[in-house]
Amino acid sequence: MGWFKLFIAVIVLYLGQSYYLLSSDHVEQFLAHNNALAMNDPVAACDNYSGDVTVMINHNTPQGTWKVEGGKDELCGYMKQSQAALVVTQASTSGYFENMEVTTSFPWQSARASYDEISNVRMGALGSISSKTHEILSIKKTLTGLEIVSVNSTGGANIAR
């Protein structure tokens, strides 16, 4: 009978960990950390995405529509280019999330995060860019933490001089 109690305890601990990892607060912290990684170390940020991630980014700017569609290669390439542009322009960035909603259900193996992201990039004499995008991400629990399995981002940017 001791093995049965141990089995139940392991199941309860596993479900408790799953519930915690996919809680709204933890998912928001994970996403904020992922954004910081994308700006500073895009190779490390790529590790937060599944190998079969699907990506659909559609942003409107005064110069036209900007799109990224595909998988991990396209997303990681975009993050590397963005980080390089930030370094070249000596830009500083800031941002925050609004209207964060995380939905999940028993047995807490995956979640859907929906939120607005407000970002500001200041590039000295080149001016600044402010953007508001709406993000919908699918996230799954793995043995080592969380992993993003889909990205859908829409919104726009305003360029100020």
Average pLDDT of the segment spanning 35-54: 93
pLDDT bin (cut points 50, 70, 90) of residue 1 is low
CA distance 115 to 134: 6
Q: What CATH number belongs to 2-160?
A: 3.10.450.50
Residues in a beta bridge with 16? none
Give pTM, 2 decimals: 0.87
Residue pointed to by tokens 């860019």? 129
Residue 132 in this model has a pLDDT that exceeds 90: yes
CA distance 147 to 125: 38
Nearest alpha carbon to residue 112 among 12, 13, 31, 17: 31
The 10s digit of each residue's pLDDT in 63-107 is: 788 889 999 999 999 899 888 888 888 888 899 999 999 999 888
The 10s digit of each residue's pLDDT in 8-36 is: 888 888 888 888 889 999 999 999 999 99
58 token code pair = 């559609």
Average pLDDT of the segment spanning 150-160: 84
Domain residue ranges in the chain: 2-160
pLDDT bin (cut points 50, 70, 90) of residue 157 is confident
| pLDDT > 70: percent of the chain | 98
User: For residues 130 and 120, is the Cβ–Cβ distance under 8 A?
Assistant: yes
